[in-house]
Structure 1
């Protein structure tokens, strides 16, 4: 048989690498190029970065402290108060800016807790299988059998309102879907040749799970986490609106909407409910757009 010349072999190898990593070279550059094709995701990323900056530097950006009471009550937007004031004279713009801290803290904190729990349980369940897999999946089924929002409301009413409690509740109740997702990926990954080779070579189970299996499950975890952040922001707003979340006078987009739910305010004082409502919509849409772009950018079947 004729051997393929070494030069042809090099060319074929370079073409294969180009398919995997793209013409620009590295997988990271290919990821960035795919992500940038989603204009809405880029805009959403800019919005989230601006929200993060506002949350971090709120004392420097906000014109007033969030609970400072001025001599203007329910004042319409003007030169001194760009978004007006609420019923007790607090500046709406300042409260909207400080409320970003609450929403981002809940979104990131809750999804961090649920991601850690769901990932660990999914890895253990998928890798070991057997009775341990059965126990973990039955517990998961029990959690998923209850209506999610109803379970949150019941637990919130028992534990009590507050920012820390909301983060813990959403985090401890939000892991089942991720555990199922990770388990499904692990079941297929553990049958691959490199995992079997690691077992044959005597690698420890933690090394196989966290160094060989987990890196190949990161993509779906990140995609799930983005949607989870959006869901946590909405859940916090709903709980605060119902009086079970962040309590006044702490500023939250949800409790700002709750304080503006009377018919008079809705019809004649839109500056009290429109800004927090717009911020909830913008943040949730931005996170969802970012999640869609991450899903497409991390899809190994996409070569563009």
Structure 2
């Protein structure tokens, strides 16, 4: 039997790196067997938010968040995270990658122009044609040089440990995107038509992943995961999702942090000295948040400015607070 508390939410990286290997076996309907296996670089920086692996992650999840992250990890299901801006939806993916030492986070930022294929891979057909006209055929035969997997495509490559995939602001995408993701979430694989067409003569092709790590071997034109990735999809609640999509996700709603969690966040990011000097500002922030939408990073910005700009007069402090703690849903 596996251990349930794989992710502890304590911030420190798993020194031995063994907790992720002590997960329960996947349910029979969530077993994947992609090959050949690519080793995951577990010591790669997790991303722009946590570049220093020796640093404790400044993230303080509550008990419900830790529990649902572990549910998603054991069931091999994507985690759909909703909540107001600034509640830490995106940061959760980086915190899990950091603590469980799962390498770099693969981030797919969704816009209205995002398509499933753009998340899976990109084929530089023009570059291949141009190079074929100027170089000998044997130098351009490697089609893998002109293919690059996207964040979604890389996450479903056959790594020996789960990759962490952040699909940021999925509600900004096309209305059909959630349904299009269902297929790959269920079967854990996808095809690359450009490689499927040549699979009989070239059964294996090595292609570049999204994070520029070691090339991934694609067999018979299809990519199939071995370890289902830890997928975090964030949503600001701007639209509803189809029931079939929601049924296949673990749903987590992040509430606005209370006073105790705000103090922990400020202390983790800016230090105890800044926290001690900003009790009044935290109280002011909480009061303002009751009447309009404010994000936690606005409080961090205000504390940083006021703590660092120690020579400002009280009037200037007040002006800075008014500028930084501007209601997100108020007039510009």
TM-score normalised by the chain length of structure 1 = 0.24
TM-score normalised by the chain length of structure 2 = 0.22
Higher helix share: 1
Structure ranking higher on relative contact order (CA contacts 8 Å, 6+ apart): 1
